Amino acid sequence: MNSDDLIWQIINNSFCSFMTKTKTSKFCRNEYNLTGLCNRHSCPLANSQYATVREEDGVIYLYMKVAERAHLPAKMWERVKLHRNYERAIGQIKEKLIYWNNWIRRRVIARFDRLLEVQKRSRRLVLTSETKLVPLSRKVERRERRREDKALVRAGLETAIEKEMLDRLRAANPEEFVNVDRAAYEKALQAVEVEDEEDDEESEEEEEDESESETEYVEDFDESEEEIEDIQEQQEEGEEEEPPVRQKLTLSSRGAAAIAPPRKRAKVTVEYDSD
Amino acid sequence: MTSRPIVTVQAAKEGEKSGASLALPSVFRAPIRPDILNFVHDQMRKNTRQPYAVHVKAGHQVSAESWGTGRAVARIPRVRGGGTSRSGQGAFGNMCRGGRMFAPTKTWRKWHRRINVQQRRFAVASAIAATGVTSLVMARGHRIEKISEVPLVVSDSVQDLKKTKEAVAFLKRVKAWPDIQKVYASQRFRAGRGKMRNRARIQKRGPLVIYAKDNGLCRAFRNIPGVTLICVSRLNLLKLAPGGHLGRFVIWSESAFRQLDQIYAKSKLPDNKMASTDLTGILRSDEVKAAVRPRQARQARAVLKKNPLKNVNVMAKLNPYALVLKRKAILAQRKALAKKRKADAPASSQKQQQKKQPAAKKAKQAAVKGKAVKK
């Protein structure tokens, strides 16, 4: 009672889990389908006698199904390994499907040819393509970039560099300072003087605090002299902060002065190179 | 059908001997009628419904009266009184906010359906028959590629399984496990409001295990996702063809399989409308061919009329001599042309000799050439 026609009617009209529709055509996702389309002829389920060619791990096999084995799913498909030689393989196909439906014979051979083409192409691709395409997850990429930016801000590179340089400055011998460019130095001086008025108040406060907390070695308790010394120190510090940039001295000495921890009252004398 | 195919019983437990042969019960030869099955399935599914309805008084618990005409408002009944924003609002109508709906649903709606006994039996028989067709079971979506035989009958020791672990081992041995894996893969959340109505999770249907006697089988299998268990004596269409689609994957126990013959004694089975459903086979058979007239030759189709006076080929078809005439005419024309040129050539050369001699020579040469070609 279960003829192919009946099966096809049921599958086609009601439901088939392998069938997928697009706007123009119907496809069959059954792996044994000869054409890939959902057709009366192509349906592996609705044809009790059917054959396909399939590739498994680079080897091409001919699969055959007959009505006698329709009720034994595990043994339904008879598999024949096709010869590596094209002529022989075609011969095998023709021999196995000798009295079969014309359409199936032709389609099997056509599919076999196509599979060979695909194999050829994929082998060629492996040889030619050196760059491997790696898929990027847009979401992940965006997230990582954001995190990088935040991390950069958090690291505070500028402040770290400043700190490092100030430490070096303090550790280094003041006599080692050398003014190379007089003009730049003068400029820097001017810049510092402008800022200095604001800085003075801060430094004054600091000094007062420091005089209470730590012992300091001060020669004269003369504010004006200290101012000058401070200016000079700041200038030095300003210069030291940006050794590579001689021409343009953008002094962030204000920052330096604000951060500067308890300053040792080391007397700094400025020496000019007369050029 | 006199000779019936043999079905081999598979071993359920390790070490068991398989191979007892049973004849296929006649149910599996029942006509497969998706239309009857669909109808019956639809009707049956309505029988588990619980009534729902809107409250009787919904929308009417308000004393509202229309203000009538002359008040520059619509005539819909309005809520009486004052002091609240509700007063003066429309009431009662289905178009009003807070009004009663159109055709309020009632509990005395017909929820259940009665189905004729014969139809019910037909449907179940169809469903069972469909479970015996490999293609239909595959088409429905069950993964039965590795199963040794369809219909799958297992020895009665299945019914004695007590532990789920054993049940799983059994399914794996019988190669039914891929179907369960498919169920696992399909577990997901329902789309829509069902989520908040205790119907959150959904999954596909797996194999149906039909037994004759439950000696612990149900307990062993019930926790495996997708597996459904029913007793032979109580075959349920909703389980045999879920969703109204034929071909569920069924695992029969041996005694259950044997019982089918008793349940479906010959008289109870529906008749086939067609003895053989292979339509293409019938149409190609000798009997039919003998009764049919020979094939007609290709019919002549209407040809678009083309004007012979304009179209040379059509003219030629009508009058072959026309070609000859035409050719003669062409040749005569060419001859006349040639003569004319010859006559003109010396005259033109005299004129041009005063201006350019090589040009005249060229003209002469051309005339000579022309003559040679035409001849």
Distance separating alpha carbons of residues B207 and B196, to the nearest angstrom? 28
Contact B139 A72 (CB under 8 A): no
Q: Does A4 touch chain B (CB under 8 A)?
A: yes
pLDDT, tens only, A100-132: 999 999 999 999 999 999 999 999 988 887 788
Contact A73 B32 (CB under 8 A): no
B25 to chain A, closest Cα gap in Å? 13
Strand, coil or helix: what is A109?
Answer: helix
pLDDT for A165 equals 85
Instruction: Give the pair of three-digit tokens for residue A54.
Output: 């399939």
Q: Does A72 touch chain B (CB under 8 A)?
A: yes
- Specify the pTM: 0.66
Domain ranges of chain B: 6-50+113-263, 312-374
B7 to chain A, closest Cα gap in Å? 10
Which of A 52-71 lie inside 8 A of B, CB atoms?
A: 70-71
Contacts of B150 in chain A (CB under 8 A): 71-73
Contacts of B132 in chain A (CB under 8 A): 2, 71
pLDDT, tens only, B30-71: 999 999 999 999 999 999 999 999 999 999 899 999 988 999
Contact B139 A16 (CB under 8 A): yes
Mark the ranges of chain B whose per-residue pLDDT is less than 50: 1-2, 375
Distance separating alpha carbons of residues B164 and B169, to the nearest angstrom? 8
Provide Rg for chain B, Cα atoms: 44
**Best of B134, B205, B276 to disrupt the A interface by mutation (most A CBs within 10 Å)?**
B134
pLDDT for A256 equals 46
Report the pLDDT averaged over residues A153-167. Answer: 87
pLDDT for B160 equals 93
pLDDT, tens only, B69-81: 999 999 999 998 8
Query: Given this structure, which CATH class describes domain B6-50+113-263?
Result: alpha beta
Kindly report each contact of residues A56-63 with a partner whose C-beta sits within 8 Å and lies 24 or more positions away, as own/partner: A58/A119, A60/A89, A60/A112, A60/A115, A60/A116, A60/A119, A62/A92, A62/A93, A62/A96, A62/A108, A63/A32
User: Is the pLDDT higher at A244 or at A124?
Assistant: A124
